[in-house]
Amino acid sequence: MELKNTVRFSELDWLRVILIFAVFLHHVCMPFNGDGWHIMNNDSSKVLDDIMVYFEQFRLPILFFISGVGSVILLSKVTVVKFVKDKFLRLFIPLLIGSLLVIPPQIYMENIVEMQSFWREYPSLALKFETNHLWFIEYLFVFFLLAIPLNKLFSSPLGASIINFVQKLSKHKIGLYLLVTLLIIIKVYFSLTFPSEDKKIENLSSSAFYFFFFIAGMLFVRSNIIWQAIYDQRFYNLLLLVFSTILFYSYYYSPDLSEYLSLDLRRSIWWLVCCLVAWSAFLTILGYAQFYFTKTPKWVSLSNELIYPFYIFHQTVIVVIGYYVIAWQAPILLKVISLFALSFLVTTVICWFIIKPSNFLRFLFGLKPKNNVVSVAYNKPLKQN
């Protein structure tokens, strides 16, 4: 078995940038969807909420899949010690620095009425070590450590048999889609066992769900057959996505069923339709990304470098600017557009003019030193032990 026989995974370069931008757009809209966030506009849009609840099913799962792919590529090139060092420098340190420097302004703006000046409150805010949106980095750090034994497993005869089984499934038009059954079991079981909505790593209803996609990335990248099947079956997966979407919104807009179904059953059905959308969207998007994104332009390569600090800073920028934007006497649409433009501009300026030129800041926020940037999208055949 070999890694995909291309010079680079251009589709993953593109998807990484597009999906981080989608996360940014999601957070721009959060103050206006009525769900409850760090800052909230007085008025909210139900239509906006109805749209956002759909797209949030598959944005981050695909990013975790891409990270799973990256773990296998890196482990095929470096020793385990170098792998752990790389992840400590590029994930743990930015997570620590982010919780100390980037997150406190969010907490302050969320509780500004109850607090004194930011600098007076800063020590106590920093020592909370809150992660907020940086839970994504926390998950990645743990998942990458778990990738080390998993990589050994997938390189063993047992791992080969697992990959062969998935390859056989992939020969059927809905074969890979059927893997959603395992995802549903994981999601429903752990969600009933850990009925929490938080993103702490120990909350397996969240972390196990995302880890499934990470493992899928580790597994799928080892097989040209599976990767090709996703490409070949993209239209069938699109039809399955349409079908899953219909089920999703049919249940989402269904009348109150509490008189007929228990709370656990209603939640289980919800998680089921969410998993159907997440998995079918993942297969569809990856298939069409292979079709459309066959080359990596220079701007995409540069964006792949800077989206990491962009992700780290974006939510804090949105919360700080959004606190003032939501106070405007203006329609929701104007506020959303203004918050989008201002936040994107400020976050980009931070990344381009402050983080990018400084090797010290690059180190703190997970970037390699200047003139030493290599995209994980490059790959060579994976050597089997």
Rounded CA-CA distance 74/84 in Å is 11
Mean pLDDT of 347-365: 98
252: enclosing H helix or E strand: helix 234-252
With a pLDDT cut of 70, the percent of the chain lying above it is 94
Q: What is the pLDDT of residues 179-207, one digit of tens each?
A: 999 999 999 999 999 988 899 999 999 99
Q: Which residues of 80-102 are buried (b: 16+ CB within 10 A; e: fewer)?
A: eeebeeebeebbbebbebbbebb
Report whether 222 contacts 3 (CB < 8 A). yes
Q: What is the DSSP letter of 378?
A: B
Query: Tell me: the pLDDT tens digits for 198-241?
Result: 999 999 999 999 999 999 999 999 999 999 999 999 999 999 99
**59: pLDDT strictly greater than 90:** yes
- Residue-wise pLDDT for 101-112, tens only, equals 999 999 999 999
Confidence of residue 278 (pLDDT cuts 50, 70, 90): very high
DSSP 8-class letter at 366: T
3-state secondary structure 158-217: HHHHHHHHHHHHHCCCCCHHHHHHHHHHHHHHHHHHCCCCCCCCCCHHHHHHHHHHHHHH
With 70 as the cut, is the pLDDT of residue 385 above it? no
In the predicted model, what is the mean pLDDT of the chain? 94
Query: Where are the domains positioned within the chain?
Result: 10-364
**For position 196, what pLDDT does the model report?**
85
The rounded distance, in Å, linking the Cα atoms of 283 and 289 is 10
